[in-house]
Amino acid sequence: MPDPPASPRPGRWLVAGLGNPGEQYLGTPHNLGFAVVDRLAEVHGIRITQPDSKALVGNGRIAGMPVMLAKPQTFMNLSGTPVRLLVDKYGFELSELLLVYDELALPWTNVRVRREGSSAGHHGVESVIRSLGSSDFARLRIGIHPGHPIRDGAQFVLAPMGRAQRQDLDSLLDTCSRAVEFIISEGVDKAMAMFNRRAHGTKEEE
């Protein structure tokens, strides 16, 4: 029998938060993308419980716009597969994709919006770019660098957050949620002007 037709296109935006599935990764810096999507779901009454295209998804409205929230259920390095499957299945344009993820190159609590760009060494973003064949999609980058030298970056992003980070987490998730809402309601360019600041110790400023 032929496959049933896909359900109607869920909305104007696909907001995909990156992370690793499994309880052992809860509360780690590398799962901040998941945490932001969960906060958005909580605030806007969206249930992210539907398995779809190797992800958990939920449909709802944010800032009056129809939105699909997604948490890829592959491991981080394979995040591109579910993102590409959702983009293809529901016909999203790349201009309707927003990727949310942690960024070790930025200081802790620094939030940056970008219209496009490279992966900056983030393996999950590398996978998405490779799967889509393009880097032309918006991102919300969440700084996680603690401000002191890190001996092993891979170990750091997968370790539980320290007490100081946990104390900042609720405020950080609120800021990230507002940034996503602003992107959806006002567009990427205005969100960049509103949320981007020169990060201490970095040379770049979008």
3-state secondary structure at position 56: strand
Q: Is 30 designated active site?
A: yes
CA 43, chain centre distance (Å): 16
Q: Return the C-alpha torsion angle 155, 205, 34, 55, nearest 10.
A: -100
3-state secondary structure at position 89: helix
Contacts of 15 (CB under 8 A, 6+ apart): 37, 40, 62, 67, 68, 69, 70, 98, 100, 180
Annotated catalytic residue, options 30, 44, 122, 145: 30
CA dist 186 and 178 (Å) reads: 11
Catalytic center residues? 30
